[in-house]
Structure 1
Amino acid sequence: MKFSPTISLLAMGALALASCNSSKQGTATNPGKESSTTGLEYNTDEGMKVSSFKKIPTGPGLVYIEGGRTVLGTMEEDVTNTHDNMERTVTIASFYMDEAEVANIHWLEYLHYLRKDSTEEQYKAALPDTAVWARDLSFNDPYVTYYLRYPGFRYFPVVGVNWLQADRYCTWRTAKVNENLGKTGGSTKGGGLFGKKKKKGDDAAAAGSAEGATAGALADGKGGPSIEQGTSLPNYRLPTEAEWEYAAQALVGTQEVGNENQEVKRIYPWDGRSTRNAYGKKQGQFLANFKRGRGDYAGIAGSLNDGAMITDYVYAYPPNDYGLYNMAGNVNEWVQDVYRPLSFQDVEDLNPFRRNGVGDPDSKYDKKGYQSLIDDHVRVYKGGSWRDVAYYLSPGTRRFMAEDSATATIGFRCAMINAGSNK
């Protein structure tokens, strides 16, 4: 076969043209100096401002949850006979979630800044209901006084917080973290909620006009980072029920590389059918804080099982394969969703979420006639608590409560979208 100079020159020209075209293909981190559709230059007096961008900074306290396909639903026998979380295949987009529950010290920080920057009404509205510890036939009185504020309880999960209060905290945290990003040039400190602590042991606008002013500043870039600059974080928020359940399953720890089948399921956020550690030096120790049986909250002196009569340190017990602590036990956790018994068949199969009663209006439920507790103001909570038996530790179990109610067994953690990604 003879060498053809003509063919060689044509090939070289094609490669050069392809190289030239590819160099003009903008990306998020390298959009180029001019528009690929109009040819107009960026960042001139008349041109559009296009900020440099590397990637969105990771918010304080968050860990990355890689999304994917999974089967949500009850893995255990439906002993409550509610049939409200049947198995179904869904896809969850990647997101971020707090590695641990929001603790008392974080809520006290919130209260500090509310008292400093907001009205007395807003401060009082954010106070947890410490009376949730009070029981007529139990001497829990010390927890009413000491649980929230005593230093020894600093890194125990905040309780007595209703869904509405938790939602407002997420709004405040977003504003405060972005305000701090503006001061530090876009850098954040990783690890833990506002800095992870290894030992046991409140912000600009949380609501109302101050919150609105901060949000406006962030939107237009005056007084803080804007969305277009890529230096502000998306909203902290409560996770959706599907996100929470997916993160609790942590099936990423069971997958073999290149295997498209999900051959291993989990009843709890860890392997096996037992609530005890099956491996290593901690073999036989409990993997979560829960009620073992009637009257047994912690075992016997000298041989305590989970070691906690009530709540425990938010970093107690081994994390799951996403690095999340206490996704079973310690406290139940609020999620975003409005409760409906048939959400599993109503919601979509990509990022499922029920924000209201669309398709299943609350008029179908006779709450006024005391035949139902369901309306558009009851929210789902998940995970089991120090006061629950092992059945509720399974990620698929779900319960609900009025959004303005609180107990000593429900806390929360925040989540955030994986902005700028289709994964």
Structure 2
Amino acid sequence: MNFSKYLRFAVVGACALASCKGGPPTATKPGKYSSTTGIEYNTEEGMKVADYQGIPEGPGLVFIEGGRTVLGTQEEDVTMTHDNIERTVTIASFYMDEAEVANIHWLEYLHFVRKDSSEEIYQRALPDTTVWARELSFNDPYVDYYLRYPGFRYFPVVGVSWLQANDYCTWRTAKVNERLAGEGEDGGSAPKKKGGLFGRKNKEVEGGDAAEGTESGGGTRIAIENGNTLPNYRLPTEAEWEYAAQALIGTQEVGNENQENKRIYPWDGRQVRNPYGKSMGSFLANFKRGRGDYAGIAGSLNDGAMITEYVYAYPPNDYGLYNMSGNVNEWVQDIYRPLSFEDVEDLNPFRRNGFLDPSEKYDKKNYQSLIDDHVRVYKGGSWKDVAYWLSPGTRRFMAEDSATAAIGFRCAMINAGSNK
């Protein structure tokens, strides 16, 4: 390197290190030069640094500010499972769907899967509508009409397994990012690329400029480094779901770290009826009040729903999330273990396969247990559950390839690059 070139780098580097313009560099304003080498970005010699204005807005998501909380059962443990003992943890900020994934959203998914992929994959994505069928109950119309009839468009999709919900999250990530990438390329018009998640027309390329999302080798790879795409949609962890359902941000005292009260349910008080205003006495969730009582009596229905209900029914909690109790239970990521509460970390706790507490201990082969590495946690209570299951700390499990008329889901996403 000649002296003049070295001097230029030294001067530029000193200026960068001194943050001589506009304060220290940030993710959205990294500056023109590297603050460690002084080399200019986006040149032949320098690294490509994409323009980044913050995480794009994800359709349907609301921001959940993280923090410290006490997870665990807030109710008397009437089932005597002792599988969610209270403990203090910290949850990082994240995003979550404001409402449960609805029938219209699943029909959109089926539309694109049929369009972009094989018939086999389409058949695998179909919900099990026979979950409504009961030998001693006339639910036959729901088998045919619940998923596809327009009146049920914004009722929660049911009959989907954990595996199917996971596939939906993968598809949604690809489809949303395909749209965002298209908008970035042509100034906001519809994406030009076709095929979506299951398309076979685009080639993914590795290395070099392609890693930054530039054209190379006849295809485009959407790169994380570009910052114009969203992180993955996914199922929330059990800890994230429980934290979001608690919504204790609504009990926070201004100016200190005290919370005025705990909550048994996602709302204030120790009852399931609204204690305030014109809606005083009305139920705050869709659940089963008692044996044979799903909605009350005609002319004075209690929760107003014999089965599921509109995904925006009932008041949202203090994070703006609807139906975190009742309507349908919701799948979460974690596999089930009764002692997860004492095994997992205290920062972003999560139970995954293949670590501690092996399934061989549970003797499922001889029918002494239902637990293995393919059972997943679901939470929240549903239209056919009594009030006990509405408490965020309660938990149950089911095989990941099974489905019922009382389990749906919603998606979550990390909050990339910020704690707020």
TM above 0.5, one fold? yes
- What is the total number of aligned residue pairs between the two structures? 393
| 1:331 matched to 2:314 | no
The alignment's TM-score, normalised by the length of structure 2, stands at: 0.89
| 1:248 matched to 2:245 | yes
In the alignment, which of 267, 273, 277 is matched to residue 276 of structure 1? Answer: 273
How far did 1:18 drift?
Answer: 11
User: Aligned Cα RMSD in Å?
Assistant: 2.4
Conservation of the 8 A alpha-carbon contact between 1:100 and 1:315? yes
How far did 1:226 drift?
Answer: 2.0
Question: Residue type of the partner of 1:221?
Answer: G
How far did 1:233 drift?
Answer: 0.3
The separation in 2 between residues aligned to 1:339 and 1:211, in whole angstroms, is 39
1:388-403 equivalence runs, <5 A? 388-403=385-400
In the alignment, which of 221, 224, 239 is matched to residue 213 of structure 2? Answer: 221
Question: Residue type of the partner of 1:76?
Answer: E
In the alignment, which of 255, 276, 292 is matched to residue 295 of structure 1? Answer: 292
| 1:313 matched to 2:305 | no
How far did 1:22 drift?
Answer: 3.2
Residue range with higher mean Cα deviation, 66-75 or 54-63? 54-63
Equivalent residue, structure 1, for 2:68: 69
1:372-387 equivalence runs, <5 A? 372-387=369-384
How far did 1:259 drift?
Answer: 1.9
Question: Residue type of the partner of 1:64?
Answer: F
Query: Would the alpha carbon gap of residues 234 and 212 (structure 1) be closer, same or farther in structure 2, given more than 3 Å must change?
Result: farther
Conservation of the 8 A alpha-carbon contact between 1:118 and 1:205? no
Query: Would the alpha carbon gap of residues 28 and 145 (structure 1) be closer, same or farther in structure 2, given more than 3 Å must change?
Result: same
Query: Would the alpha carbon gap of residues 62 and 395 (structure 1) be closer, same or farther in structure 2, given more than 3 Å must change?
Result: same
Residue range with higher mean Cα deviation, 100-109 or 21-30? 21-30
Conservation of the 8 A alpha-carbon contact between 1:64 and 1:97? yes
Conservation of the 8 A alpha-carbon contact between 1:168 and 1:206? no
The separation in 1 between residues aligned to 2:136 and 2:201, in whole angstroms, is 42
How far did 1:215 drift?
Answer: 10
* 5+ residue gaps, structure 1: 1-16, 190-202
Conservation of the 8 A alpha-carbon contact between 1:172 and 1:204? no
1:350 partner SS: coil
* 5+ residue gaps, structure 2: 1-13, 189-193, 215-219
Conservation of the 8 A alpha-carbon contact between 2:17 and 2:36? no
Question: Residue type of the partner of 1:54?
Answer: Q
The separation in 2 between residues aligned to 1:256 and 1:292, in whole angstroms, is 33
Query: Would the alpha carbon gap of residues 366 and 264 (structure 1) be closer, same or farther in structure 2, given more than 3 Å must change?
Result: same
How far did 1:44 drift?
Answer: 0.9
How far did 1:112 drift?
Answer: 0.2
1:185 partner SS: helix
The alignment's TM-score, normalised by the length of structure 1, stands at: 0.88
How far did 1:293 drift?
Answer: 0.2
1:334 partner SS: strand
Equivalent residue, structure 2, for 1:170: 169
The separation in 2 between residues aligned to 1:215 and 1:240, in whole angstroms, is 32
Query: Would the alpha carbon gap of residues 216 and 345 (structure 1) be closer, same or farther in structure 2, given more than 3 Å must change?
Result: farther
Residue range with higher mean Cα deviation, 406-415 or 52-61? 52-61
The separation in 2 between residues aligned to 1:186 and 1:89, in whole angstroms, is 46
Q: How far does the alpha carbon of each residue in 1:103-147 deviate from its partner, in whole angstroms, 9 at most, with x for none? A: 000000000001000000000000000000000000000000000
Equivalent residue, structure 1, for 2:145: 146
In the alignment, which of 257, 270, 277 is matched to residue 260 of structure 1? Answer: 257
Conservation of the 8 A alpha-carbon contact between 2:101 and 2:157? yes
The separation in 2 between residues aligned to 1:414 and 1:70, in whole angstroms, is 21
Q: How far does the alpha carbon of each residue in 1:153-194 deviate from its partner, in whole angstroms, 9 at most, with x for none? A: 00000000000000000000000000000122299x9xxxxx
How far did 1:410 drift?
Answer: 0.1
Conservation of the 8 A alpha-carbon contact between 1:175 and 1:214? no
Equivalent residue, structure 2, for 1:404: 401
Equivalent residue, structure 1, for 2:235: 238
Equivalent residue, structure 2, for 1:368: 365
1:171-210 equivalence runs, <5 A? 171-185=170-184, 204-206=195-197, 210=200
Query: Would the alpha carbon gap of residues 361 and 219 (structure 1) be closer, same or farther in structure 2, given more than 3 Å must change?
Result: farther
Conservation of the 8 A alpha-carbon contact between 2:253 and 2:259? no
Conservation of the 8 A alpha-carbon contact between 2:16 and 2:38? no
